[in-house]
Structure 1
Amino acid sequence: MSNDGFTKVCSLNDIPEEGALGVEVGDTPVAVVRSEGEVFAISDICSHAEVNLSEGEVEDGAIECWLHGSCFELSSGKPINPPATQPVPTYAVKIDGDDVLVSLDTKNS
């Protein structure tokens, strides 16, 4: 279902507090993340090791790659620490009632 370029990906209840949910928007893997009361959408693929970021820990507005420990800012996709040096795309999020909608029009890359 598309709404002005936004696609419903899950409900708010599907996303753990300070956690992530891996979803697909078309063929694009996206991690929908809740941190510090906000919801973010970020590429679900680490720019360093190409593993799912949604399987990592979420804390203080960042998500950690479970494989090598790189952390990415949820708001910008920028790596906070090595070994990752390249950012991951982030996507626009809208909340409509209990529905979480994501647009693949990249906010930052």
Structure 2
Amino acid sequence: MKKVLLCRVGELTEGEVRQVSAPGFEEDFAVYMMDGQYFASDDLCTHGMVSLSAGEIVDGQIFCPLHDGAFDIRTGKATVLPCRIALKIYAVSVEDGNVFGLVPQD
């Protein structure tokens, strides 16, 4: 696993999602703050090929801004059609005021 810096603690507010580009990765990440915790996933919707960071968090789900499908932020499970394919979720750790995603190495 590779530790990837996603943001600093305090850069996101409760209920916020942000797109993060990390050096060495082609795809962007979406970083969420929900219930006082940080979560991370791929930023690209598995259905509509659009950035989820432009979506809205409602009841623990991120809603895609293109077709209004949704995913569970904690599990990645597709929860609202037309989304059917789960979203890739990454483990997150908070260390020394930084939020890291733990990403499998190729």
SS in 2 for 1:80: strand
Q: What SS does the aligned partner of 1:54 have?
A: helix
Q: Which residue of 1 aligns with 2:50?
A: 51
Cα RMSD, aligned residues only: 1.6
Q: Distance in 1 between matches of 2:34 and 2:6?
A: 17
Q: Which residue is 1:81 aligned to?
A: 80
- Alignment match, 1:92: 91
Q: What is the TM-score with the length of structure 1 in the denominator?
A: 0.86
Deviation by residue 1:46-88 (Cα, 9 ceiling, x = unmatched):
0110100011111222111011111100111111110111111
Offset at residue 99 of structure 1 (A): 0.5
Identity over aligned pairs, percent: 29
Residue type at the aligned position of 2:89 = T
Report 1:1-80 matches (<5 A): 5-25=2-22, 26-80=25-79
Tell me, in whole angstroms, the C-alpha distance in 2 between the residues paired with 1:71 and 1:48: 10
Q: In structure 1, list runs of 5 or more residues that go unmatched.
A: none
Task: For residue 12 of structure 1, report the CA deviation from its aligned partner.
Answer: 2.0
Give unpaired runs (5+ residues) of structure 2.
Answer: none
